Amino acid sequence: MSPQQLAGTLAPEHASGALRRFLVYLGPATLVSVGYMDPGNWASDLEGGSRFGHDLLWVLVVANAIALLMQTLAARLGVITRLDLAQACSVCYPRAIVIVLFVLCEVAIIACDLAEVLGSAVALNLLFGLPLVWGALVTALDVFALLALQRFGMRRLEALVVVLALTVGGCLAVEWWLAEPLFTSLRAVLSPRLDSASVYVAVAMLGATIMPHNLYLHSSLVQTRVAPSTSAGRRRALRYNLVDTLIALNVAFCINAAILVLAADVFHANGVVVTDLREAQRLLSPLLGTSLAGVLFAVALLAAGQSSTITGTLAGQIVMQGFLQLRWSPALVRLVTRGVAVFPAVVVLLLFGEDATVPLLLATQVVLSLQLPFALVPLIRFTASRRLMGDHANGRAIVALASVAALAVVACNGWFVIDMIAGAAGVPALACIAVVGLAACTLLGYLALAPLRIDTVQAKSWSAIDMRASAARYNAPHPAGR
């Protein structure tokens, strides 16, 4: 089953009692949150902590706040319009713009999947001695596990992801206890600073925390719950999804903060800069005085890679079907999106070897950050539209806050690009970067200011609602879903 076919398969409004209704609403943000603790996050957090100590912890705090806001907007879009972000783009913008947005989103998904495949391959190498190239190929098989799990409904898939996330959290909690942190992080949070030496890692941490494809994923997953039929029900759904987002993303933030502080107190304190995930695992055991530290690191990395792989594959299918309106079978779409992720990973490993995993993972997160504005701007635009959202459109204060957050992301990316231009050698490189930057700014301006195609939005929105209402009626005998 595809995510679209799973729409309306859980009916929280039919559950007896407020607590049971709330528990049925919980889940979508949990699947989204694993993308905030994937191997790409590990690489950026390890690099930031080992190189700069606690100095970049404030970046995680700010990025988590922006992520909370944007994921909440994504959930609102899905609950109210019954369209995911990709579908909304396809019915609000001209076809040419939609194709460009699809290509940009696919680049982000490939970068994210590359990080997940590399991380899982490293974990398999650490635990079982499997070469990284073979480990990357083995991760392609998890798509079949995902296909099998979805036959049992969304709740089973959510439960698996929760178990994997708890595994990551439990392993890192033990690592934290072994490291005996110095608790000097609060000072770094209250005195933010950034310079040309740390901007690259800061941009990577930003991209690792606020992933563009997670916005598409969240706006689709909330639709697995039956659309509330009343205004009060919609407000309740929005409130419960907000709580779901707050819980899941703050847990992910704690895990990221734990990795950065662990790297700061173990590696930075000993003058060690981590350039390879396997090096980090090897150094943990002697520095912490127990072999358990290295084993827990590898287990947590494998759990993080596999959980984020599941959600990344779902996001790839949502984006492909939402932007291009494909009618392929779910199995074929998943195989294609998984192959698109595994092939670059194998090529990268063959070209660059097995000794540069952290730089490669860091580069993928920078790519995510550069792609992020092209998801944020349409999301803010759609959720502020009264024609799309009705009475649930964002107020001026929320729009202003979200716009400031998006501008901060653009400014951070702009600083990185300017810094890169300053270090670029030769006129051709400068000209190429300048042309790409101008094209990106032009596209963002169009996404923010061009009139939406409201006439076609209304018809396609009702079509989507009717499809989901049919699924809801079919599942009505199962009050709390499956």
Q: Encode pLDDT of 102-141 as tens digits.
A: 998 888 888 777 777 788 888 888 888 888 788 877 877 7
Q: Provide the 8-state DSSP code for 273.
A: -
More confident residue, 148 or 37: 37
Asked which of 2-6, 21-25, 255-259, 339-343 is least confident by mean pLDDT, the reply is: 2-6
User: Residue 465: pLDDT band by 50, 70, 90 thresholds?
Assistant: very low
User: Residue 424: pLDDT band by 50, 70, 90 thresholds?
Assistant: low
pLDDT of 462 strictly over 60: no
Sign of the four-CA dihedral 22, 27, 32, 34: positive
Secondary element (H or E) of residue 120: helix 95-128
- In three-state secondary structure terms, 83 is coil
Residues paired with 225 in a beta bridge = 10
Closest CA to 188 of 270, 264, 266, 274: 264
Q: What is the mean pLDDT of the chain?
A: 79
Angle between helices 277-288 and 39-52 (to 10 degrees): 60
Cα separation of 434 and 458, whole Å?
39
The answer to whether 383 touches 215, Cβ cutoff 8 Å, is no
Beta-carbon contacts of residue 423 (< 8 Å; ≥ 6 apart): none
Cα separation of 249 and 455, whole Å?
36
Cα separation of 444 and 433, whole Å?
16
Tell me, what's the pLDDT at 468? Answer: 47
pLDDT of 349 strictly over 80: no
Tell me, what's the pLDDT at 185? Answer: 56
More confident residue, 92 or 211: 92
